[in-house]
Chain A
Amino acid sequence: MDKKICTYICTGCGIGEALDIEALSGVITSEMAQECKTFANLCSPEGRAFLENEKKAEGINTFTICACSPRVMQSEFDMGDDTITVRCNLREQVVWAAGEPEEGQEEYFKEWLQETASDYARMACTRAAKTEMPEPYEMESMNKDILVMGGGIAGITAAVEASKAGSKVTIIEKTDVLGGKANGWVKQFPTSYPYAELEDNSIASMIAEVEADANITVKTSTEVARIGGAPGDFQVTLKAAGTKSEWDAPEKVGVDEQDLIDKGEMEDPNAGLKPYGEANDGADVFGAVVLATGWIPADVSEYEHLGYGSNDKVVTNAEFEAMAKNGQLDGLNRVAFVMSPGAEDNDQDFPYANSVTSMVALKQAKYVRENNEDAQAYILYQHMRTPGNMELFYKGVQMDDGIFMTKATVTGIEGGTVHAKDTLLGEDLDLDVDLVVLAAGMVPTTRDESTINLAYRQGPAFLDLDLFDGYADSHFICFPYETRRTGIYACGGVRKAMNMQETMDDATGAALKAIQSIESADRGVSVHPRSGDKTFPEFFFQRCTQCKRCTEECPFGALDDDEKGTPLPKPSRCRRCGTCMGACPERIIGFKDYNVDLIGSMIKAIEVPEDDDDKLRILIFACENDAYPALDMAGMRNHKFNHMIRFIPVRCLGSVNMAWIRDALSAGLDGAMLLGCKYGDDYQCHFVKGSEIANTRMANIGDTLSTLGLEPERVRSESVAITDYDKVSELVNDFVDEIVELGANPFKGF
């Protein structure tokens, strides 16, 4: 595409009054040698008509809009698929963030503001010149079918919902029947108003619906050996449940481990298995996968004072359900339900218990009562959790004459007597019962096994699930069904202990996300959080040194590799965060509109005045997801930002290549800061690992700077949440003050 670039300065929203627009146009036309026009308010219908005319009459296809933040007026300045729009944030981050002149600085105030605006214009013009038209990645082959792993309520619902939306679905189920855990239930929680009474188990009708659906194929007694490929083209090798196969997913073997294996010092965990990268011609192909493998009952034998395993009057809730299903409740006149292990100072519930186990206790107490009208059920809880409409279910159960509840710390079970203290009854409690039921939790299948069995370079399992106690939860902001493997969506008990209705909602969401990911792969665009992004990382392989940093660091495992270690990108797995680009020491990875050279050139476009301590230049790379909006919000509230700051938005801190920091400091800029999301256990990074990786890189570059004779304090990484808009100006201004203390970069002028 031949680019025809023009810059448009909007003089609305106070920009025209605060800045010398003529001088600013001068910078663009003379210094940057680009066309420049001004308009009173570009976002108005007149402005839009003006821009459209520019496109039609003048043939402009690259619009540099010097106006408001790129986060606002997006449709107003979207000039069509055949055009590029570059936004220059003169409003929120220059004019509105200028504040009032400080004492003694009045005469320089205008001058400084003009310099800031000019630098942003220079960067925008550079960006416009360097941005190329993105072309979506085209898959070689495309399959739109959905694989659902697990035939319980979650799997069945996902399959039915996907089918209703027009997809072809295959359900695989490990056991020989569909239905999963629900097959063992006597009754189910209420699903409709007034939510007060248990309902008959509806799993049979749900199974019948699946079996009658021509779009759904059911394979029972089947497991996944491995899943290779990428969204739109997953190569899934199935096998008979419980068998071993040479196509079972191999463990990740790192470089060091491979060394040991080669030397014979370590056993190869993957002996007898096909390498992860090998294609299986006999594999089934799917476009996306819904993981609905559910949960297994937790083990409660560790609590000796409760006597599970040694006292035959103590059973788990799962065992009690089976007893009820098999009609073995006769003779049970007094049953205690123990919701928390208790003992000394322990108000925790059983591990992996949550609201569902609370409700199961309520349900099973009802079984006791319905079996015998004179029977009594005691529920001893530390926490009674019945969220949403289930509060009505709780109320319904509460009204039963023979169900007795109290908060209590169970101190022991001896024979048929339950001892409890700290009860609401005001005294320690001894209950003589015929049976004690322990509210064992629901352990996700992903806690102990990889379950999803991926044939990916980064290994067969989801990463870092220990952060979520083994639940297949990505902690993606706003999108809980997402996993760190694009095209694979977890739902139901494997993701969180949930009741039937929650599971069905969850499964519906996961099915729709699966369809969305297939459609996005088909169009060659990204899924959440950069939904619709047409760019993807492109590699200049001739210069690749097989250092494996990109393949290791990619948070989404989007890069496989060949035997030599050269990355094999799978663009439909990619979320376009750019972490690979930030990792690459050879700077050979980039996007059409975002690459090392482009940002590097923008940095170089910043004018660096010499010998003026009032004109230091501090570069701040701000993550587009949270930090940049926080800066915008601060600007909207007219929080003052120091005039020496220059912000550059980045896709994720993970994409920040340390070359930019080095270039900036060697170009004479005085400091650099990375502003991104919180990392660690409660991370908020939209790409999961980006800010964490950037922090490690920054620690390393600090060392490098000190060898160059620069203070490591000149670079820093900070985390902010989107809600920190009230603190962010102080945070960055303080950094500027520290740099001013350090004085100008000694490299200035070299």
Chain B
Amino acid sequence: MNVQPDLDFIRYLKTAGGDTMKKCYQCATCSVVCPLSTEEHPFPRQEMIWSGWGMKDKLVTDPNVYLCHQCGDCTAYCPRGAKPGDVLGAIRAYAYSALGWPTGLAKLASSAKGLPMLIAIPSVIIFVLWAISGGMTIPGSEEFSKYGYQHFFGHWDFHWLSKNVAFIDFFMLGAAGLAVFASFKGVTTLWNSMVEREGVDSNFKPSLNQMVKEFLWPSIIEIVQHSRFKECITNRDREVGHKPLMWAFGGLFVVTVWSAFANDVLGLWVPSLHGPMSVWNPVKILANVSAVAMIVGCGILWMNRAEAEAKDNLTPTFFDWFLIWEIMAVGATGLLAEVARWAGLAAPGYILYFIHLVTVMMLFMYMPYTKFAHLIYRTTAMTFEKYRDSSFVKNPLDE
């Protein structure tokens, strides 16, 4: 292996929470204490020296980097204060933006310097749409109590698609589409490079069905059950925060799908399905419970992180905080906008709703480049891990 250390990569890692990585003296305590490290594929000892040597290509394609749940056990036990957990986090931050497409947007999302721009893009889009939609007015209390935010982008009489939905779909589906495409590109690149690195014999390829059934689905079950999170010792409470947060996303996904279906499909024939739902509507209950769970889960993670940072067990990074802020903003603005609607405060409500739309769009659009990308890349790595150990890759006769 001809090694060409990349100084810029090292400099980047140092700014992204990996400033301690050079302290590593390769004792491998981290690999021993890591609850996720396996005998056959131990980490993060080797990842530490690769990052110290600036070997970015080795790291971006390394499944271990994504398998790490950043529980911090390695950092807690590191005798040199090299904080392997943070270093792996920094590597992931680099990798998400390296795998990201389009490159310019990925780069923008990777540092605090880009933050004003990151907020400005959706803000401007939504504001301009609001401006040109003809909505542009704060409704009176009667209209507000009847329609809530459903006339935010105004109203037209076209029966098959309401104006609001048309506008929201326009930018939200656009953002989501971009994210899906970028995710697909990133995941494909990562998968192919992991396959290449592992030296997989292409004669034994699983079918898509096998791939999903044998590798992807068990990984998703593991993720939902948080079984790897539970292995963690040092920051045990992260599971406590992450779990409700994940369920909240699930709940809100269901709610969103239902309301789109109810409003925009069923609503065409059953007009009473339009307008704000009753608080006792089971879907609304799910929505509110999920929103609260989101805020609570995110709050727990927020507090954990702040506490760990105070104890110097975690390094504060934009990468980590941005996602927490984002989710908190989504949850808080959503809930407050609802409260404003109940209270009949149209003007504050509209402002909150505007911010809510901006934050949701940010969450969607930047998903593949921010920490949120662990959703796709960790799932990919876990799937690959199972694939790697299967008889598709390892010939059982060779054992």
Contacts and interface: CB of A to CB of B under 8 A. Distances in A.
Interface of A: 374, 376, 395, 398-402, 404, 406-407, 424-432
B2 interface: yes
A401 B14 contact: yes
Contacts of A427: 1
B7 A426 contact: no
Contact of B25 (A376, A398, A425): A398
B11 to A, nearest CB: 6
A398 B53 CA distance: 11
Contact of A401 (B2, B22, B26): B22
B3 A425 contact: yes
Given A427-B1, A429-B1, A432-B2, A374 B7 contact: yes
Contacts of A376: 5, 7
Given A407-B26, A425-B55, A429-B3, 12 more contacts: A398-B22, A398-B25, A401-B10, A401-B22, A402-B7, A404-B52, A424-B46, A425-B3, A425-B46, A425-B53, A428-B1, A429-B1
8 contacts: A395-B23, A398-B22, A402-B5, A404-B5, A404-B53, A424-B26, A425-B3, A430-B1
Nearest to A425: B49
A426 B46 contact: yes
Most buried by B among A398, A424, A427, A429: A424
B249 interface: no
Interface string B1-33: 111110100110010000000110110000000
B184 interface: no
B50 interface: yes
A401 B1 contact: no
Most buried by B among A398, A425, A429: A425
Interface of B: 1-5, 7, 10-11, 14, 22-23, 25-26, 46, 49-50, 52-55, 80
Contacts of A398: 22-23, 25
B3 A431 contact: yes
A424 B49 contact: yes
A432 B22 CA distance: 22
B3 A399 contact: no
Contacts of B10: 401-402
Contacts of A401: 7, 10-11, 14, 22
A429 B171 CA distance: 50
Contact of A399 (B4, B23, B46): B23
Contact of B2 (A374, A395, A426, A430): A430
Contacts of A404: 5, 52-54
Contacts of A407: 26
A424 B3 CA distance: 13
B14 to A, nearest CB: 7
A432 B2 CA distance: 8
A428 B54 CA distance: 16
A539 B397 CA distance: 87
B199 to A, nearest CB: 13
A500 to B, nearest CB: 24
B44 to A, nearest CB: 13
B251 to A, nearest CB: 44
Contacts of B5: 376, 402, 404
A427 B5 CA distance: 15
Contacts of A429: 1, 3
A404 B55 CA distance: 11
Contacts of A406: 49, 53
A376 B53 CA distance: 10
A359 to B, nearest CB: 16
Contacts of B2: 430-432
Nearest to A432: B2
A400 B22 contact: yes
B276 to A, nearest CB: 57
Contacts of A430: 1-3
Contacts of B3: 425, 429-431
A402 B52 CA distance: 9
Contacts of B54: 404
Nearest to B55: A425
A404 B301 CA distance: 36
A414 to B, nearest CB: 13
Most buried by A among B23, B26, B53: B53
A279 to B, nearest CB: 60
A409 to B, nearest CB: 15
B86 to A, nearest CB: 15
A307 B12 CA distance: 37
A406 to B, nearest CB: 7
A493 to B, nearest CB: 28
A401 B20 CA distance: 11
A398 B52 CA distance: 9
A407 B24 CA distance: 13
A424 B10 CA distance: 18
A398 B21 CA distance: 10
Contacts of A426: 46
Nearest to A417: B2
A528 to B, nearest CB: 40
| 6 A-B pairs with the lowest CB-CB distances in the bound complex, closest first | A427-B1, A430-B2, A401-B10, A399-B22, A404-B53, A424-B49
Nearest to A401: B10
A281 to B, nearest CB: 62
Nearest to A399: B22
A83 B23 CA distance: 65
Contacts of B80: 395
A399 B22 CA distance: 5
A485 to B, nearest CB: 43
Contacts of A428: 1
A569 B53 CA distance: 65
A395 B82 CA distance: 11
B246 to A, nearest CB: 34
A429 B49 CA distance: 13
Contact of A425 (B1, B4, B14): B1
Contacts of B7: 374, 376, 401-402
A658 B56 CA distance: 76
A395 B20 CA distance: 11
Contacts of B1: 425, 427-430
B269 to A, nearest CB: 64
A400 B10 CA distance: 10
Contacts of A431: 2-3
B351 to A, nearest CB: 46
Contacts of A395: 23, 80
Contacts of B53: 404, 406, 425
Nearest to B19: A399
Nearest to A431: B3
Nearest to A376: B5
A233 B324 CA distance: 83
Contacts of B46: 424-426
Contacts of B50: 425
B138 to A, nearest CB: 55
A373 to B, nearest CB: 9
Nearest to B81: A395
A376 B54 CA distance: 11
B78 to A, nearest CB: 13
B81 to A, nearest CB: 10
Contacts of B25: 398
A362 B70 CA distance: 33
Nearest to B2: A430
A40 B11 CA distance: 80
Most buried by A among B2, B3, B23, B80: B3
Nearest to B49: A424
Contacts of B22: 398-401
A490 to B, nearest CB: 34
A633 B389 CA distance: 63
B389 to A, nearest CB: 19
A399 B19 CA distance: 9
A387 to B, nearest CB: 15
B13 to A, nearest CB: 10
B82 to A, nearest CB: 10
